[in-house]
Amino acid sequence: MYISITGLKTKNFLSEIKFWILTIPAFRAAQKAEGNLFCETKRVNGYQHTITAWKDRNMMIQYLTSKVHAKAMKNFRSIATGSTYGYEGNQIPSWKEAMGLWQKNYKEY
């Protein structure tokens, strides 16, 4: 199983609005995507985080290259900063575990 942990922080109020306009459809698409086993979101310390679990990395990449996700990523740099950490695992991490992994492996883009 492939686990992806993402944390994004919007730049200002207007970018927060644009963020939600783009990410709500992308999150819903992830929930319905083939190979998605788990998809959850939570705000922690000013960052909007997601944890997703996929049958395998290839299934996650299929979603990443989908039209709705590509649209959100195209606008990312103008609205937010953040990082994604992905890894192969046997179980979905708790939020506490996920936040520890994300903070340990954080590389802003």
Question: Across all residues in the chain, what is the average pLDDT?
Answer: 92
- How confident is the model over 63-102, as pLDDT tens digits? 988 888 888 888 778 889 899 999 999 999 999 999 999 9
Give the full edge-to-edge strand order of the sheet including 2-10: 36-44, 47-54, 2-10, 80-88
Q: Is 0.85 topped by the overall pTM?
A: yes
- For the stretch 2-58, pLDDT in tens is 999 999 999 999 999 998 998 899 999 999 999 999 999 999 999 999 999 999 999
Domains of the chain: 2-104 (3.30.70.100)
